[in-house]
Amino acid sequence: MTALLTIQGLRTEFGGGDRSIVAVDGVDLSVERGATLGVVGESGCGKSALSLSIMGLLPEAGRVTAGRIIFDGRDIAHASPAIMRTIRGKRIAMVFQEPMTSLNPLFTIGFQIAEALREHEGRLTDRAARARIIDVLHRVRIPSPERRIDEYPHQMSGGMRQRVMIAMALSCSPDLLIADEPTTALDVTVQAQILDLLGELQAQTGMAMILITHDLGVVAEMADRIAVMYAGRIVEFATAAEIFDNAQHPYTLGLLGSIPRIENDRERLLAIEGAVPSPLRLPSGCRFHPRCVFAAPECSRADIRLTAVDVDHVSACLRAPVEGIRP
């Protein structure tokens, strides 16, 4: 069976000429139908640029300069706006990070969901559209949807607005849902509810999902496979179980919050030291080596590629497997 979405050698750049910034640098990924892919990394690692590249929603300065994005057998990396419009919202839907600003303040939520329906489902009577919207609001567990459908965004809480966004994304039964940090802006208790909801809806509809987050905890229960991104590249890609039990990239270990310090035996570190490098001054060799506790001199010289460390498990680390060098 072929994957629903296959990304090959994707390169996304912002700006032009000498000062262009490579936000996504040679990314290969795939998502099977009905499966969940977690994409994990710190802010600025290229996660959002990746999702916007798939949607064809890059801002004016951004563009895909290499690679292919094959969705359901067709390369959409450079598809025409007309073709992308038939895919966006209908076949690939997206939920964004900020529910407070995701909705237009001037229109009711019912109207805003109806827009997606009318765009993709052809002629709908007002009554039929309303019934569909109430049904989808019901599915995302919005209480009394018959009343809420006529409310404006400012009358709703952040959690409710994110449910509306999910309802909007689900309204046309997409094959793929991209959720870009869907819970980051929400309260902790609401985060769990939204994640549960996404999991349930996925089980009901059988859609595939790309869950983008900076928090490995968020994808722990939901993702089948996890891609860890650093500075525009994928540094580790494996099944969720492998990532949690057998991470082979020092950055993943850092994200897991369990990286052992070499000089301090058994002391646990909760943070990765240093900051994500500026995309204008990327380190040579392995882009993580300046922050890596395992770094060896060759890490700054070699061109490091993803290599298999196990079945269904690739890592871009010269020193993998890291068991041998663990203290």
**Tokens at 54, concatenated:** 């798939």
Write down the least CB distance from residue 119 to other proteins, Å: 5
Write down the least CB distance from residue 210 to other proteins, Å: 14
- Residue 86 binds to other proteins (criterion: CB under 8 A): yes
The C-alpha atoms of residue 278 and residue 276 are separated, in whole angstroms, by: 7
Other beta carbons within 10 Å of 305: 10
- Residue 215 binds to other proteins (criterion: CB under 8 A): no
Write down the least CB distance from residue 244 to other proteins, Å: 31
Other beta carbons within 10 Å of 131: 12
**Tokens at 110, concatenated:** 């019912």
Write down the least CB distance from residue 282 to other proteins, Å: 27
The C-alpha atoms of residue 224 and residue 324 are separated, in whole angstroms, by: 27
- Residue 43 binds to other proteins (criterion: CB under 8 A): no
**Tokens at 279, concatenated:** 């995309």
**Burial, 125: exposed, middle or buried (Cβ in 10 Å; 0-12, 13-18, 19+)?**
exposed
Write down the least CB distance from residue 24 to other proteins, Å: 18
- Residue 55 binds to other proteins (criterion: CB under 8 A): yes
- Residue 85 binds to other proteins (criterion: CB under 8 A): yes
- Residue 90 binds to other proteins (criterion: CB under 8 A): yes
Write down the least CB distance from residue 102 to other proteins, Å: 5
- Residue 89 binds to other proteins (criterion: CB under 8 A): yes
Q: Which is nearer to other proteins, 47 or 90 (CB)?
A: 90
Q: Starting at the edge strand that comes first in sequence, how are the strands of the sheet with 208-213 ordered?
A: 92-95, 176-180, 208-213, 36-40, 225-230, 233-239, 313-315, 307-310
Residue count of the chain, please give it. Answer: 327
Nearest to 47, CA basis, from 93, 85, 12: 12
The stretches of 171-265 forming alpha helices (DSSP H) are 188-205, 216-220, 240-246, 250-255
How many amino acids of this chain bind other proteins (CB under 8 A)?
30
x/- map, 136-175, other proteins, by CB under 8 A: ----------------x-xx---------x--x-------
- Residue 94 binds to other proteins (criterion: CB under 8 A): yes
Residue 235 has φ and ψ, to the nearest 5°, of -105, -20
The C-alpha atoms of residue 248 and residue 322 are separated, in whole angstroms, by: 6
Using CB under 8 A, which residues numbered 62 to 81 contact other proteins?
81
Instruction: Pick one of 1, 106, 270, 280: the residue that binds other proteins (CB under 8 A).
Output: 106
Task: Please spell the DSSP secondary structure of 264-299, one letter per residue.
Answer: STTPBP-S-SS-PPPTTSPPSSSTTGGG-TT--GGG
Q: Which is nearer to other proteins, 18 or 60 (CB)?
A: 60
- Residue 105 binds to other proteins (criterion: CB under 8 A): yes
The C-alpha atoms of residue 304 and residue 150 are separated, in whole angstroms, by: 54
Write down the least CB distance from residue 85 to other proteins, Å: 5
Write down the least CB distance from residue 169 to other proteins, Å: 8
Q: Which is nearer to other proteins, 168 or 322 (CB)?
A: 168
Write down the least CB distance from residue 98 to other proteins, Å: 6
Q: Which is nearer to other proteins, 60 or 267 (CB)?
A: 60
- Residue 88 binds to other proteins (criterion: CB under 8 A): yes
3 state DSSP class of 85: helix
**Tokens at 291, concatenated:** 């922050």
The C-alpha atoms of residue 316 and residue 250 are separated, in whole angstroms, by: 10
- Residue 122 binds to other proteins (criterion: CB under 8 A): no
**Tokens at 166, concatenated:** 């999910």
List residues binding other proteins (CB under 8 A): 55, 57, 60, 81, 84-90, 93-94, 96, 98, 101-106, 115-116, 119-120, 152, 154-155, 165, 168
